[in-house]
Amino acid sequence: MRVKVNGDEFTLPEGSNIKDAIEASGSPYLDGCVLGVIKGKEEFEKHVNKYSFKTTKGSIIIELLEDCPEILLNTWKNHYREFEGLRIRWTTTNEVSLGPVETELTPTKDEHEYLSWDVILSLSGFSADATHIIFSKEKHKSVYGAPAENNGVFARVVGGKRTIMKLTDDDVVKSVKPVLERKSIVQSAAVTKLETLISDGNEIFTYVLMEPEKKSPSSVDQFFALTERGELDVDYESESFLGFYGLQGLEKDPEYIDQRRRGTVTLRNSGKGVGRIYVYREDRVSTPTHTIVGKVTKGIQLMDIANQGDRITVKTVPERIMTLAMTQKEAGEFLESQGIKQIRNGSSDDEAVVVKQDPQFTMDIIGKSEVVTTGVPEDEMIYIELNEETPKSSWYFQKLTGLLDAPVGSLNVMFAFPGMKVMMFRGNSKESKGLVPENNPIKCVKAGEIGITNMSRRQIGVVGVRFEDNDEFGPTGEPFQGTNIIGKVVKGLENLEKFKEGETVYVARRKF
């Protein structure tokens, strides 16, 4: 049997299920993510009510009438592709004609009145062998040999009226296609499991492919960070869009602003919900608070059927270019595979760890085709592990360091005094507001534990680490009730004491 998987056709044995189709096609899919199946073309087109004509002068969109007679509806759906490649047959002040094709309609010889932007099935010469489409440009009366059913009117022009006015008999219709809309997808697609059996003609959707917007390099990298695991968690669902809030609160300056068409991916750049990612199911006008991050080029059907709480497998082309936390050698090999030139800076040894890349953002790197990777010796890196018990404090720490959207972050040493067995790092007074007490130590703070001063003390937001156990004060010198323990240093603690006030410490998550 023949099935389509993410738009590509494959032959599978009878009795195959979705898992077999994924394996045969090699399609991207992460376990537990949402899947979609459309039974076939007929099932899908049964629910489609808009079609797009692409002409040499532009596009035209028609919408089928809600009460369209069945004979007209079936005639259109059985023959619409036959209008592809045909020239405009004639134009007048009242109409534009396209055809002919052969149908089985029965003509009449009556004159009828037609409204502006009616779409009519006309039987020229009172013959079904010369069936045309008439686009009515203004209210008029005419004899089109149209069938008796609704005087041949089966649709209305809802887009591209200017295109119709510009058409001449030199123009050609390049294509006629159904217009993808969420309501038609939802009506024809089913959410299924891997074990679901499939049949001939089924269309299966396993992932969403997104093309990043090169004019929004910083915002695109935030999307890359959100989809680092190759999936998106749906946090909000409405008729118009899906919302993904995993990095809500991480601000980016406004970049490319444009219309939010169906399939557009945006980043909220200011106001309530800053940092949220949205994918649009329906067209919306542009707004300065939404930066265009990219567009969905494959798999919009999954965005249509997904609900709050679902997970969606996601890929991007191009993928993120991120060398941070790699060694200089690993970064060089990775960049070479991407056709990007590496220029080493700082510690250039093969085993040095990359802590900065310039340009910083993927789209800028691709545009320049080279990147400077700054390395530090491995023994200067600090590796950490964060607690799950301190969501607010851990978020603050990651935002302060830059670990929210990059694998390596940094801290600036505020206090380091030999023999004190404690080191403190500068905080951010603006970002630290609302740091409620979380995971306060009870009896003892262990060496290597990372603490943050909470809102009960004046120095809110300061970060600290102790180099030896202390049963009286936290890593920032505050009493236990003023200290939130957010995690611990798992590698490199012995190196911290070498740093001095004003120096930068580079931190990364646990390296396994």
Is residue 232 scored above 70 in pLDDT?
yes
Q: What is the mean pLDDT of residues 210-228?
A: 97
Q: What does the pLDDT read at residue 512?
A: 43
User: What's at 268, amino acid-wise?
Assistant: R
Q: Residues 41, 46, 52, 54: is their CA dihedral positive or negative?
A: positive
Task: State whether 388 and 505 are in the same domain.
Answer: yes
Give the domain CATH number at 477.
2.40.100.20
Is residue 511 scored above 70 in pLDDT?
no
Q: Residue 184: pLDDT band by 50, 70, 90 thresholds?
A: confident
Domain residues for 351?
328-379
The larger pLDDT score, comparing residue 137 to residue 41, is at 137
Say if 321 falls within a structural domain.
no
Helix (H, G, I), strand (E, B) or coil at 128: helix
How many C-beta neighbours within 10 Å does residue 374 have? 21
Q: What does the pLDDT read at residue 334?
A: 97
Say if 322 falls within a structural domain.
no
Say if 284 falls within a structural domain.
yes
Q: What is the mean pLDDT of residues 364-393?
A: 94
Nearest to 450 by CA among 500, 511, 505: 505
Q: What is the mean pLDDT of residues 248-262?
A: 95
pLDDT digit string (tens) for 296-305? Answer: 999 999 999 9
Task: State whether 273 and 293 are in the same domain.
Answer: yes
Task: Name the one residue in this structure whose structure tokens are 């998106």.
Answer: 232
Task: State whether 174 and 62 are in the same domain.
Answer: yes
Task: State whether 500 and 401 are in the same domain.
Answer: yes
Q: What does the pLDDT read at residue 183?
A: 85
Nearest to 421 by CA among 384, 470, 454: 470
Cis omega before residue 359 (within 30°)?
A: yes
pLDDT digit string (tens) for 442-459? Answer: 999 999 999 999 999 999
| CA separation for the pair 174, 134 (Å, rounded) | 17
Task: State whether 100 and 152 are in the same domain.
Answer: yes
Residue 96 is encoded by which pair of tokens?
Answer: 């534009």
Task: State whether 442 and 356 are in the same domain.
Answer: no
Task: State whether 335 and 308 are in the same domain.
Answer: no
- Say if residues 408 and 508 touch (Cβ distance below 8 Å): yes
pTM comes to: 0.85
Helix (H, G, I), strand (E, B) or coil at 173: strand
Is residue 73 scored above 50 in pLDDT?
yes
Cα–chain center distance at 251: 18
| CA separation for the pair 411, 426 (Å, rounded) | 7
Is residue 510 scored above 80 in pLDDT?
no
Cα–chain center distance at 482: 40
Helix (H, G, I), strand (E, B) or coil at 495: helix
Looking only at the bridges linking them, the beta strands covering 341-346 and 370-376 are parallel
Task: State whether 454 and 353 are in the same domain.
Answer: no
Adjacent-strand bridge partners of 191 = 36
Greatest C-alpha distance within the chain = 104
Task: State whether 433 and 456 are in the same domain.
Answer: yes
- Say if residues 275 and 251 touch (Cβ distance below 8 Å): yes
| CA separation for the pair 262, 284 (Å, rounded) | 8
Task: State whether 250 and 312 are in the same domain.
Answer: yes
Looking only at the bridges linking them, the beta strands covering 422-425 and 408-416 are antiparallel
| CA separation for the pair 438, 226 (Å, rounded) | 25
Is residue 220 scored above 80 in pLDDT?
yes
Task: State whether 423 and 408 are in the same domain.
Answer: yes
Give the domain CATH number at 255.
2.40.100.10
Cα–chain center distance at 167: 37
Domain termination residue (choose one: 271, 291, 316):
316
Q: What is the mean pLDDT of residues 276-287?
A: 95
Helix (H) or strand (E) holding 42: helix 41-45
Q: Which residues in 246-320 belong to E strands, given as ranges?
A: 264-268, 277-280, 290-298, 311-316
- Mean pLDDT over each residue of the chain, to the nearest integer: 94
How many C-beta neighbours within 10 Å does residue 21 have? 24
Task: Name the one residue in this structure whose structure tokens are 């969606």.
Answer: 312
Say if 263 falls within a structural domain.
yes
| HSE-CB for 369 with a 13 A CA cutoff | 1
Adjacent-strand bridge partners of 136 = 95
Q: Residue 47: pLDDT band by 50, 70, 90 thresholds?
A: confident
Is residue 293 scored above 70 in pLDDT?
yes
Report the number of distinct structural domains present in the chain.
Answer: 5
Cis omega before residue 318 (within 30°)?
A: yes
Task: State whether 191 and 153 are in the same domain.
Answer: no
Q: What is the mean pLDDT of residues 160-174?
A: 96
Q: What is the mean pLDDT of residues 345-365?
A: 97
- Say if residues 134 and 144 touch (Cβ distance below 8 Å): yes
Say if 323 falls within a structural domain.
no
Angstrom distances, CA of residue 79 to CA of 76, 87, 174, 251, 389: 5, 16, 15, 51, 62
